[in-house]
Amino acid sequence: MIYFYRKDFDKMKKILFAVLITMILLSSISFSQETIVSKNYFPLKKGNFWIYKISTGAHIRYEVTGMKTIEGKRYFVMSSSPVKGNIEMTETYFADSTGVYLHNRSNKTQNAVFEPDQLFIKYPLKPGMTWTWKGISENDEMILNFSVADFEIINIKNVNINCLKMTVKYSSKSLKPDYSDTYWLADNIGIVKQITEASYQGKSVKISRILDYYKNYLSPVNDILP
């Protein structure tokens, strides 16, 4: 058995207390970083789907329908269509720990490929972030400026969902009107709400979509909406 004098014991207590505080701080930092990194504001898995109510009254279904390989990289394929209707648009996304990238958007008449892939969501996503994407799509030079505001609560069917608000402002040589998208993104859900605004020669247009139902097979709590 080891004995300590009172003076040594008091000194030992101070050292242990300092070590304990340091460990708590380090563990808190590690947990905070892990929490931020693990946020998934655009969950991609085959079978995941979202149904949105559009301000025009229509309901649109977005679904991850499969995967495809493009230049050696695996992309998720997302299709959108009116509920109980045929597919009208297809998008391909690549996702890793750095973010979610949009590769192309196509319909029956055109295929807009973004070069390089457009960084749609940058991880870890948090308030105050900004980034810019510069690239080409359909021979048009484009600049997209992204900014993330603070968290906001969006109420869907009496369910409060904590969302990050993200705004995208577009500019290009051919895009004459002022054009922007505002998204409200929730962890393990994705886009909860979106407002698209455009103005040109004194006229303005605003279209919105808001989440009505979704399924996320990456999350154990994947259908919180009634």
Span 31-45, pLDDT tens digits? 232 323 348 999 999
Count of residues in the chain: 226
Q: Name the residue ranges covered by the structural domains of the chain.
A: 1-38, 42-215
Q: Tell me what pLDDT residue 55 has.
A: 94
Q: Tell me what pLDDT residue 177 has.
A: 64
pTM of the model: 0.79
Q: Distance (Å, rounded) from C-alpha 115 to C-alpha 132?
A: 14
- Helix count (H) and strand count (E) of the chain? 1, 12
Q: Tell me what pLDDT residue 86 has.
A: 87
Which residue stretches of the chain have pLDDT < 50? 1-38
Point out which residues pair with 206 in neighbouring strands: 197
CB-CB neighbours of 38 under 10 Å = 11
Q: Distance (Å, rounded) from C-alpha 55 to C-alpha 101?
A: 27
Q: Tell me what pLDDT residue 11 has.
A: 38
Domain 42-215: CATH architecture, name and number where available: Beta Barrel (2.40)
Q: Are the C-beta atoms of 190 and 42 separated by less than 8 Å?
A: yes
Q: For 124, list phi and psi in degrees, rounded to 5.
A: -80, 125
Q: Tell me what pLDDT residue 124 has.
A: 95
Q: Tell me what pLDDT residue 223 has.
A: 56
Q: Tell me what pLDDT residue 222 has.
A: 53
Residues 126-137 as b or e (16 or more Cβ within 10 Å = b): eeeeeeebebeb
Q: Are the C-beta atoms of 58 and 68 separated by less than 8 Å?
A: no
Q: Are the C-beta atoms of 119 and 131 separated by less than 8 Å?
A: yes
